[in-house]
Amino acid sequence: MIREVLEGWLSTRLDDSAKEWLTTQSAKVASGDRRTLFLAFGLVPRKTGKGDLRLNADELAEASRARAGWHPHNWSVDQAARILLVLTWPHERAEDLTSVLDPLFNAGEVRELVALFSALPLYPYPEAHRARCEEGIRTNIRAVLLAITYDNPYPAEVLGDNSWNQLVLKAL
């Protein structure tokens, strides 16, 4: 359902060329093409732009229905497109998804990391991403820390007391 929501938002904000590119890349990613996922993930801003999504009240309500606690009012077009690609990756187990998320997190530049961390509540297998969230809490990159703490229900839902306390202290 989250993929469909993202697709709907992007379809009204992208020009025909960007929509066609994203549709083609998504189809390749859905078939299990890792190389396409990694290349497309990095190319997204060049193809879609970096503008704000500017979601209206109905779209924000749709987000809340798709995933309780999801508030993407500060998301950008490239952020939504990147997460759409990630969520398109075929997975039957947590390891299938983390096998592509780990390299994306490890090699990500700041905007990529912001997209990945802000989408923590959207990924299936929430427990599989706990260590990644805990790693993000230790960052010195302000934008990444904000992606984890600001309008993101994941830490409150998944983190243990020690990690939660570290997050609170870091946020102060």
Domain count, the chain: 1
pLDDT for position 84: 98
pLDDT for position 155: 94
pLDDT for position 131: 95
Average pLDDT over residues 13-34: 98
Specify the length of the chain in residues. Answer: 172
Quick: pLDDT tens for 24-61. 999 999 999 999 999 999 999 999 999 999 999 999 99
pLDDT for position 18: 98
Contacts of 145 (CB under 8 A, 6+ apart): 136, 137, 139, 170, 171
Position 106 pLDDT exceeds 90: yes
Quick: pLDDT tens for 110-166. 999 999 999 999 999 999 999 999 999 999 999 999 999 998 999 999 999 999 998
- What is the pTM (predicted TM-score) of this model? 0.94
* Beta bridge mates, 52: 76
pLDDT for position 170: 84
Position 171 pLDDT exceeds 90: no
172 band by pLDDT with thresholds 50, 70 and 90: confident
CA dihedral sign of residues 92, 98, 100, 101: positive
pLDDT for position 163: 92
| Domain that includes residue 102, residue range | 2-171
* Number of alpha helices (DSSP H) and beta strands (DSSP E) in the chain: 11, 0
Quick: pLDDT tens for 73-103. 999 999 999 999 999 999 999 999 999 999 9
